[in-house]
């Protein structure tokens, strides 16, 4: 039985010619990979959006209301519930809670950020020196770190705020009056939280300094400070960013805790924490005194924690989620 002849189909002129170079895509940078992982973390995106809104509320509100409005006393309108004139109600001496949460939020956020900067400076410095040089210097710095870890943070914060904050006068900066206790709280929080970051940085430096590119840099005579700041530190930045982000939330919580005990930021400076202290005796009769500052503290801390979780997953070099 004769087989039918095969018909060869010729490509038409309109057919697209395949070129390998057109299908190749440029490799993603580390930043692009991190962004891809981060945007898949829905709670981190939610936390970032909420945090931006809170920052806009606290710092954008000063364009509408002045600090005088936050401290304006109207005894005839004391303990007024939320209304059109006072959306968040008024406190025990007639001050508008909405305006006070705006200016109080500024101080709470500033305390969190500046305490974090103090923590990062001390922690990264000590961790980098211990991890890079090792030996006796490593032993001395790690014993110092362990000694600071033993100190009860809350106890030290309460003692310092009690006995030293009263001696520091109020500070005027950018047209605002800040209580001197703000500096004490920032210093104590930053000076007692750095050991955790120092141990993380030390572990990173111990790992990275054994890589081939670091050994090559040493062999070519690269100065020590360039190896630390241009080669090792950039490769250790991911855990530092995550730790710094979470420390902001911890600092805000600590400030609110001691302010609630009456040993935090002194008047006339308002914070979310000392607003809660003023609401202690009115938990049932005037719920708005504690609800709005407490809600802002909770949203801020949760948003920062969600953001920190997202950054941890996004900056993890071993993560395969893209």
Tens digit of each residue's pLDDT (9 = 90 or more) over 253-299? 888 888 877 777 776 678 888 888 878 888 888 899 999 999 999 99
Is residue 87 scored above 50 in pLDDT? yes
Which residues make Cβ contacts (< 8 Å) with residue 8, sequence separation at least 6? none
**From the centroid of its chain, how far is CA 251?**
9
Distances (CA, A) of 87 to 32, 84, 209, 224, 292: 43, 6, 57, 58, 10
Question: Which candidate, 239, 238, 219, 217, places its Cα nearest to that of 228?
Answer: 217
Is residue 232 scored above 70 in pLDDT? yes
Rounded to the nearest integer, the mean pLDDT of the chain is 82
Mean pLDDT of 199-221: 87
Question: Which candidate, 53, 41, 70, 20, places its Cα nearest to that of 272?
Answer: 70
Mean pLDDT of 235-244: 87
Say which CATH superfamily domain 41-74+85-314 falls into. Answer: MetI-like (1.10.3720.10)
Q: How confident is the model at residue 49 (pLDDT cuts 50, 70, 90)?
A: very high
Domain boundaries, the chain: 41-74+85-314
Phi-psi region of 102 (alpha: psi -120 to 50; beta: other; left: phi over 0): alpha
Residue-wise pLDDT tens digits, 154-192: 787 777 777 776 667 667 765 666 677 788 888 888 888
């Amino acid at each position: 039985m004769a087989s039918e002849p095969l018909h060869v189909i010729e490509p038409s002129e309109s057919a697209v010619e395949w070129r390998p170079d057109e299908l190749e895509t440029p490799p993603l940078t580390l930043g692009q990979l991190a962004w891809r992982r981060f945007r898949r973390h829905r709670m981190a995106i939610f936390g970032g959006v909420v945090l931006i809104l809170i920052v806009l509320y606290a710092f954008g509100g000063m364009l509408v209301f002045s600090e005088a409005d936050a401290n304006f006393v109207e005894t005839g309108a004391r303990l007024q519930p939320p209304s059109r004139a006072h959306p968040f109600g008024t406190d025990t001496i007639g001050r508008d809670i909405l305006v006070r949460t705006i200016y109080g939020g500024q101080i709470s956020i500033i305390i969190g950020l500046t305490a974090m900067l103090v923590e990062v400076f001390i922690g990264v410095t000590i961790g980098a020196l211990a991890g890079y040089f090792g030996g006796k210097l490593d032993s001395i710095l790690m014993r110092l770190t362990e000694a600071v870890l033993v100190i009860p943070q809350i106890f030290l914060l309460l003692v310092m705020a009690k006995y030293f904050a009263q001696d520091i006068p109020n500070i005027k900066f950018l047209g605002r009056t800040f209580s001197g206790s703000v500096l004490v709280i920032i210093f104590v929080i930053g000076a007692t939280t750095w050991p955790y970051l120092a141990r993380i940085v030390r572990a990173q430096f111990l790992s990275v300094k054994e890589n081939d590119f670091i050994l090559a840099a040493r062999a070519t005579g690269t100065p020590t400070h360039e190896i630390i700041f241009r080669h090792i530190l950039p490769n250790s930045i991911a855990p530092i960013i995550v730790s710094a982000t979470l420390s902001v939330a911890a600092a805000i919580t600590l400030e609110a805790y001691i302010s609630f005990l009456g040993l935090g930021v002194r008047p006339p400076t308002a914070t979310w924490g000392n607003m809660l202290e003023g609401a202690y005796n009115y938990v049932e009769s005037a719920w708005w005194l504690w609800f709005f500052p407490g809600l802002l503290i909770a949203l801020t801390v949760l948003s920062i924690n969600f953001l920190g979780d997202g950054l941890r997953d996004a900056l993890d070099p071993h993560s395969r989620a893209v």
